[in-house]
Amino acid sequence: MDLGLKNKHVLVTGASGGIGNEITNFFLSEGANVTAHFFTNKKTLETLLKEHPSTFSMFSADLRIEIEVKNLFIHANKQFGRVDSLVANAGVWPENETPIHNMSFNQWENTLKTNLSNVFLCIKYFCRNLVQYPGNYGSIIVIGSSAGVFGEAGHVDYSSSKAALKGLMLTVKNEIVHLAPKGRINLVNPGWTITPMVKDSLKDKSIVKRVLQTIPMRKVATTQDIANVVVFLTSDKASGHISGQIITVAGGMEGRMLFEKKDIEI
């Protein structure tokens, strides 16, 4: 199916990570022009620049700082013109489990800045971009987490930052249509996904079994599973009447045990 993404300009934040890189590759394969944001790690993106020199650009920015977000959009507009779609994917998952009574305020504040404030700033400047470059369409995909749905013990900072994205998304869906009549925003919540961010945790078979006990499909998602949904929702042709929705990509995950450990094979 032609998703109608050829020559569309997509800005992907956190594009060098596992999910972000998969999303970026998918858009490029559909013929889109992609501006890929990264913070410090650009290794995976350099290969894409060599493979797609005319449709790919990358830019480093600390998305917690407003002027850097503004500069990211200035760069993107210079490269490929109006940004048609934003995939707000950048975020952090502090790996160490820290209960709330031991968590420093600095960790709490940094996680919320990285996972929530950065999304606010990116959406703010995407919407300003819609004012600067008027048009009927504009789509935003926000990447959340199943932790924002079920909570995650030892990660109150992360789960809180991801849960807050729901309110942000539901508000923006009512505002974006005043800037672009067919503008849309949706939230994608990945469950456990095989990425560099969690690969060390998934080396522990006891953790994997505990995770799979809550998933009817008894499978940890791949980055391709997430990218498929993101690209579909970005397409105005495929999902032009879908907005304000929360899609959880977690194999039917529930906040309770569905299987005994003996029923899980790894």
| Backbone Cα Rg of the chain | 18
- 85 in helix, strand or coil? strand
Task: Write down the residue that tokens 């995650």 correspond to.
Answer: 152
User: Alpha-carbon dihedral of residues 108, 111, 114, 118, nearest 10 degrees?
Assistant: -60
253-256 own/partner pairs: CB under 8 Å, 24+ apart: 253/146, 253/150, 253/191, 253/192, 253/214, 253/215, 253/216, 254/150, 254/214, 254/216, 255/149, 255/150, 255/151, 255/214, 256/214
Distance spanning both ends of the chain, measured CA to CA: 35
Catalytic: which of 125, 133, 137, 158? 158
* Known catalytic residue at 158: yes
- 73 in helix, strand or coil? helix
* Closest to 39 in 3D by CA, of 74, 98, 4, 89: 89
CB 62 within 8 A of CB 85: no
Residues identified as active-site: 158
